[in-house]
Every structure is written in structure tokens, then in C-alpha cells.
Amino acid sequence: MKKFLFLFPCLAMTAALTACSTEAERVSYNLSQQADSFNDVRQITVINCLQGDVLFQMTGKMSITADIADNQLEILVEDENGEYKKHFIGLSDNVTYVVEDVTSGDVNQYKYTLNFNPKMWLPEVATIE
């Protein structure tokens, strides 16, 4: 009987604590599955941390995988024709990224955009005066 009185509260507390963790894990898993199934519109922003500049942004239905071995992001995008394109983003100590879920009613679900910051790709021209 003493064992039962000791074990019952322990089991009840374990079940209560596990339920909270399990629900959060389940929601996180479901959201990831929904995004990886191209049901959500996401926006990824790549930032140069040294200068604080945005290198580029990509918006659309995409599945994003972090490839730790190659230090890059692998992005698979679905376009309006149901075709898929794969993009790679190289990461370094000076480059970081942010992924946002921007799904809403006024977003075209099949169109994706890729915006580059021209300052990052066009060299500055020095003039002699």
C-alpha cells in the first residue's frame, strides 16, 4: 500500500508533464510537415552579419533543409506550374538567415520571388577627383 501511495503521485506528475511536452512536440511536427508538403508560404531572408545588409529574400512554397555537413541550406521550391526547383544558400560565420511563415489569404500560393540586394553584387566604383 505504501508503494502505491508513493508511485501514484509520481506517475500522475509524470503523465501531466509529459502531456505538455508531447503536445508542443506534436504541434511543431505538424507545422513542419505542413510546410514541407508545400502547404505554407514561407519567406527566407539571408543577412550579412558584418554589415547588417540583407543579401536576398525568397518567398514562396518551400521546404528548407539545413545541411550541416556542407554548411548550406537546401531549399526546394514549388512554382505555379507544380514544378520544383532546388536552390542552395551557403552559410558562414558572417551569414545568417531567418525563415518566416507568411501564409495569408492575399498571398499567391504558387508564385515565389527571389530578391537580391544589388549592393552586395555590384562593386562600388571609385572615382578620382
Residue 18 has a CB neighbour count (10 Å cut-off) of 10
Residue ranges of E strands in the chain: 41-48, 53-67, 72-78, 84-90, 95-101, 113-116
Q: What is the pLDDT of residue 83?
A: 92
The mean per-residue pLDDT over the stretch 111-116 comes to: 64
pLDDT tens digits, residue range 65-105? 999 899 999 999 998 898 999 999 998 888 889 888 887 55
Q: How many CA atoms lie within 13 A of 128 on its CB side?
A: 0
Q: Which residue has the cell 536552390?
A: 87
Where do the structural domains in the chain lie, given as residue ranges?
1-36, 40-129
Is residue 58 within 8 Å of residue 98, measured between CB atoms?
no
**Does the pLDDT of residue 124 top 70, yes or no?**
no
Least confident range of 18-27, 60-69, 76-85: 18-27
The mean per-residue pLDDT over the stretch 10-29 comes to: 65
30 alpha-carbon distance from chain centroid: 14
pLDDT above 70 coverage of the chain, percent: 64
User: How many angstroms separate the CA atoms of 25 and 107, rounded?
Assistant: 28
Mean predicted lDDT score pLDDT of the chain: 77
pLDDT above 90 coverage of the chain, percent: 22
Q: What is the pLDDT of residue 123?
A: 57
Q: What is this structure's pTM?
A: 0.63
